[in-house]
Amino acid sequence: MTPEEACSFLSDLINTSVVILNSPEAIERFCASNSFHTAQKSFTAHGIHNLINHLNGRNIVIYRDVLMMHMALVSVRDMPVIIGPYCTEELRDASVELLKRRFSIRNLSSKDFLSYRSRYKHCSNEDIIRNCHVLLKYTGGLKAETVDRFQDELPRRPEEWQYTRQNYEILVTERYKAETEMMECISVGDAAQAIRKYRYLHDNVRFMMSIGSAVNAGPASAAVVRTTIRVPMMNAGLPPVLIDQITGESSHNINKCRNREEIANENERLIRVACEAIRRFR
């Protein structure tokens, strides 16, 4: 399979742009199609060339820009290929405001920015890395041995906390509201709505971690989720032995998880099991 055919096929398969950057014109077209704000320094010809320079023929480059947009680069038969942009988390108005103030980004409309992000697929970096390996395999390229990660951040100001506190408080308030709503959904056995609220909580915390406003404690946070889910199960009248059995199994599964995404999947499974138990009990 030629690199062009493989890139076209992969792009259709994952619904994400996969482009060979084999000419200045291709780079210019990529930047013109995907750049949204002047803060995105690497969505320029100069910025793309800097990323390409990090390729050594045996690595994958994962890049995150200041507006939380991601790209992956890999060398296919000595030609740079870029996958993306793509998003790894959802942002909401409060998150965007916090991001703007954190990095002093001006002239950025939250509504327009969220509309821009909606054009791109949400997926994990791990999925994209697997796709890079598949691309190399079917084009006869050298197997990638390392993954190099880079991120672009604007200079931070020493007094940044005074600019972020108000929006940080908004995020915290939204998180507590969503947590309460998730518990209410579980208490009536509504798994779909409870998982929707959990995913908002997951994205909220992950965003705060990504800008340095929260600590990544995957297993510990899963323990908090289990405790939160126990409350509506107890309020619904489920026997303590059954609650302990359900949450104990989840705790065992969490210990085998290898990353945050697997932990999130286990938490969602726990929510579904809890809601099913409440529906059956009633």
Question: 155: exposed, middle or buried (C-beta count within 10 Å: 0-12, 13-18, 19+)?
Answer: exposed
Q: How many CB atoms lie within 10 A of CB 234?
A: 13
Q: Which two tokens stand for residue 242?
A: 């059954």
The pLDDT of residue 164 is 43
- % helix / strand / coil in the chain, to the nearest 5? 60, 10, 30
pLDDT averaged over every residue in the chain: 83
What is the Cα–Cα distance from 24 to 38, expressed in whole angstroms?
A: 20
What is the Cα–Cα distance from 237 to 281, expressed in whole angstroms?
A: 8
Using 50, 70 and 90 to split pLDDT, how confident is the model at 173? confident
Any idea which residue has 């038969």 for tokens? 77
Q: Looking at the predicted structure, is the pLDDT value of residue 216 above 70?
A: no
Q: Looking at the predicted structure, is the pLDDT value of residue 158 above 60?
A: no
The pLDDT of residue 276 is 94
Q: What is the pTM of this model?
A: 0.58
Handedness of CA 24, 26, 30, 33 (dihedral sign): positive
Residue 252 CA: distances (Å) to CA of 26, 226, 266, 269: 50, 12, 10, 13
Question: To the nearest whole percent, how much of the chain has pLDDT over 70?
Answer: 86
Question: 123: exposed, middle or buried (C-beta count within 10 Å: 0-12, 13-18, 19+)?
Answer: middle
Q: Looking at the predicted structure, is the pLDDT value of residue 190 above 90?
A: yes
- Say if CB 186 and CB 233 are below 8 A apart: yes
Q: How many CB atoms lie within 10 A of CB 199?
A: 16
The pLDDT tens digits of the residues spanning 69-115 come to: 999 999 998 899 999 999 998 887 777 877 787 777 878 888 888 88
Using 50, 70 and 90 to split pLDDT, how confident is the model at 154? very low
Question: To the nearest whole percent, how much of the chain has pLDDT over 90?
Answer: 39
Q: Strand 18-20 to strand 59-64: parallel, antiparallel, or no bridges (unpaired)?
A: unpaired
The pLDDT tens digits of the residues spanning 33-73 come to: 998 888 888 888 888 998 998 898 889 999 998 888 999 99
Using 50, 70 and 90 to split pLDDT, how confident is the model at 231? very high
